Amino acid sequence: MFTSDRAPSLKSVLLASGVVLTLAMGVRHGFGFWMQPISEANGWTRETYSLALALQNLMWGAFGPFAGMAADRFGTMRVVLAGAVSYMAGLVWMALVTQPTLFIVGSGVFIGLGLACTAFGAVSGIIGRVAPVERRSWAFGVSGAASSFGQFLMMPLEQYLISSVGWQSAFYLLAAAVIIAMVPMAFFLREPPVVHAGSAQQSIGEAFGEALRNRSFLFLVAGYFVCGFQVVFIAVHLPAYLKDKGVTDPRIAVMALALIGLFNIFGSFYAGKWGGMVPKRYLLSGIYFIRSIVITLFLLAPLSSISVYLFAAAMGFIWLSTVPLTNGIIAGIFGVKHMSMLAGVVFFSHQIGSFLGVWLGGYLFALQGNYNVVWGIAIALGVMAGLANLPVDERALARGALKPA
């Protein structure tokens, strides 16, 4: 089924997946920097570019379960290789295409598929299978920290490329970087054939149906929807929001997004570490409640570079710290055989939220001239997600002959 007879070491898997996640998440985290130059160059409103990014996020989620199934069935290496090619094609497409509909659909499909095959859902399965149970939450935290490092690293780099070589050439250089970095790392993600003890074997359909009947899984789905809405709205629209409010120095927005990535390195790592010590559901609930508080304080405080940096640091610490906790709960409840597929299903909900967050930001701004309503929705959803995660049951399912992990 896979292409190697020897299981890779946890160290090599974390290193290779870390590089892949650094590029996958780092590049897309800076897409907000292209909103104004592309819109001005093509004579578009913000809604057009926002819709393109919204579709990217939606397609990322829609392709996610299938990428996860392919990774579980055929191996992570093949999925990452396919994703690198699609990601590269999407970046080139965004540089070349000027017709709005083609730009929206093409970039949505190519980038969405690329992210589905190179981001958390695709690599979570191999991490869960290679890591010992007692270190699984920590390993998910390390992979989350790697993606956060990518966000921190790529923010100033992407802004520098746009200002120095132009927004089109910046896309070309990033496309080359994706291929050059991801392809060799994919070969460190080869897995041996999986041997399952016991006579009973759970099919993909059975695993999917079991998850949809599980109340805790549905709570995780609801929480991830909110996570996607909040983080992608902020990542894409924060630079434009700051400029509208009179913060015209672009370095402040760049530093803010970089700080989100920097502090999420620590947030993701410690979320994974603490998730092995205390119930993960309490940490998840706390993260969502704190997000609503941080957003509220940011909107109420006088806007300045200091308030922006404090907001970015606080949000960064809880930015993607939901990922190791959510994946840890999924692995604990359902086991790791279909880990990538189930993580992809939950992440689809995240990306529906991402679609609505980024699209509503552009749509309501075009309608009302401000982001006030979307900020209010983000706050209310955070409270709801905090409440939804409290009753999650993290105990492994009993399946008779089927092993839960």
d(CA 150, CA 103): 26
pLDDT of residue 204: 79
Measured between alpha carbons, how far is residue 185 from residues 44, 71, 104, 140, 180 in Å?
Answer: 38, 15, 30, 18, 9
d(CA 55, CA 178): 21
pLDDT in tens, 198-253: 434 677 788 888 888 899 999 999 999 999 999 889 988 888 889 888 887 878 88
pLDDT of residue 51: 84
pLDDT of residue 7: 66
Is the pLDDT at 182 greater than 90? The verdict is yes
pLDDT of residue 297: 96
Is the pLDDT at 4 greater than 60? The verdict is no
Is the pLDDT at 119 greater than 50? The verdict is yes
Dihedrals φ, ψ of 392, to 5°?
Answer: -60, 130
User: Which of 53-57, 178-182, 321-325, 395-399 has the largest mean confidence?
Assistant: 178-182
User: Which of 135-144, 154-163, 213-222, 237-246 has the largest mean confidence?
Assistant: 213-222
User: Which of 7-11, 197-201, 299-303 has the largest mean confidence?
Assistant: 299-303
Determine the average pLDDT of the residues in 342-365: 85
From first CA to last CA, the distance across the chain in angstroms is 20
d(CA 198, CA 255): 53
pLDDT of residue 198: 42
Task: Identify residue 86 by its one-letter amino acid code.
Answer: S
pLDDT category, 194, cuts 50, 70, 90?
low
Determine the average pLDDT of the residues in 299-320: 92
User: What value does the mean pLDDT of the chain take?
Assistant: 85
pLDDT of residue 69: 83
pLDDT of residue 225: 93
Q: Which DSSP symbol is given to 75?
A: -
pLDDT category, 399, cuts 50, 70, 90?
low
pLDDT of residue 153: 79
pLDDT of residue 6: 63
pLDDT category, 334, cuts 50, 70, 90?
confident
d(CA 381, CA 269): 25
pLDDT of residue 183: 94
Virtual torsion, Cα 230, 110, 178, 15, nearest 10 deg: 60
Determine the average pLDDT of the residues in 379-388: 94
Q: What percent of the chain has pLDDT over 90?
A: 35
pLDDT category, 338, cuts 50, 70, 90?
confident
pLDDT of residue 244: 86
Is the pLDDT at 5 greater than 60? The verdict is no
**Which residues share a beta bridge with 399?**
402
Determine the average pLDDT of the residues in 280-293: 94
Measured between alpha carbons, how far is residue 34 from residues 49, 65, 312 in Å?
Answer: 9, 29, 20
Q: How many CA atoms lie within 13 A of 362 on its CB side?
A: 24
Q: Which CATH architecture has domain 10-191+207-389?
A: Up-down Bundle (1.20)
pLDDT of residue 404: 43
